[in-house]
Amino acid sequence: MAQNFVLNVSDVNKSFGGLQALTNINLQIEEGKTHAVIGPNGAGKSTLLNTVIGRLAPDTGSVLFDGVNLTGKTAHQINQLGVARVFQTPEIFLDLTVLQNIEIAALAKRDGAFSFKPFRSMFSETKIQQEAVDMLDDMGLHHLRDHPAANLSRGDKRRLEIAMCLIQHPRLLLLDEPTAGMARHDTNRTIDLLQRIKARGMTKVIIEHDMHVVFSLADWISVLAQGAIIAEGTPEDIKGNPKVQEAYLGGTEV
């Protein structure tokens, strides 16, 4: 039976000068699943994500999203196809309010670009505004709606960026270390949020360092070390894999 893969990464290689950052990467991501990519610092995780979202071109290989080859498409074209991403450093508009950030993301998807039309016309977009307000409620950011994004805690900035992705209704959401630098309380709130997204059936690829987050969310895990996938499987498989413990977990029990 043919599997329903949303994302198909085949034989991707990427080098920076003499450094082979990715070697023969193959990944198949099933619809509705949460697929985690873990690995030590410098393993190539962000490079892999950047090749999927069109920030970097792979040297060889292909990335198919829903059967469409993403190689050679711009980051913007890839976003328009239904792929959204949360970067390691939140990309939000610090001078705008929380609500305005979400509205801009919604307009960007609708109008095909980040749009800086006068805010007056933006506020006439009643439907978009209503959806943005609902999103804030859903994300537990409602009390911050009129605050400049610059004033938010690191965890709230991350959640705002996730909300900016969700308002675009992507089919595939890619998250690069969404809980990096967060306090445990914020991490747990973000896990709750990501679990709620999962219940809605969105497909996710999550790059994550924190094993608590990975084992709370992932259906399937690929382990990257020195640019190559050294193991993959269910969280149970990965917990018990001695190769993974040696390469990534320093031989300690997880």
What's the min distance (Å) between Cβ of 14 and ligand ADP? 8
Q: For ligand ADP, which is the closer residue by CB, 3 or 41? A: 41
82 binds, among Mg ion, ligand ADP, none (CB under 5 to 8 A by kind): none
CB 198 within 8 A of CB 188: no
Cβ within 8 Å of residue 82, ≥6 positions away: 65, 66, 169, 170, 171, 172
The total number of residues shown for the chain amounts to 254
Residue 70 or 104 with smaller CB distance to ligand ADP: 70
Q: Which residues fall within 8 angstroms of residue 219, CB to CB, at 6 or more apart?
A: 30, 33, 34, 35, 234
Nearer to Mg ion, 180 or 254 (CB): 180
Residue 128: phi and psi, rounded to 5, are -65, -40
Q: Which is nearer to ligand ADP, 156 or 208 (CB)?
A: 208
Tell me the residue nearest to Mg ion as measured from the CB. 46
Rounded to a whole number of angstroms, the minimum distance from the CB of residue 87 to Mg ion is 10
| Residue 119 interacting partner from Mg ion, ligand ADP, none (CB closer than 5 to 8 Å by kind) | none
Interface contacts to ligand ADP, rule CB under 6 A? 16, 19, 21, 39, 41-47
Pairwise CA distance, residues 80 & 70, whole Å = 11
**Pick from ligand ADP, Mg ion, none: which does 16 bind, CB < 5 to 8 A by kind?**
ligand ADP
User: What's the number of CA atoms in the CB half-sphere (13 Å) around residue 135?
Assistant: 27
Evaluate whether 25 touches 229 at the Cβ level (below 8 Å). yes
Q: Which does 58 bind (CB under 5 to 8 A by kind): ligand ADP, Mg ion, none?
A: none
Cβ atoms within 10 Å, residue 174: 25
| Nearer Cβ to ligand ADP (15/168) | 15
Residue 158, binding choice from ligand ADP, Mg ion, none, Cβ under 5 to 8 Å by partner class: none
63/44 Cα distance (integer angstroms): 16
Q: Which residues, 23 to 52, sit near Mg ion by CB under 5 A?
A: 45-46
Q: Which positions touch Mg ion (CB under 5 A)?
A: 45-46
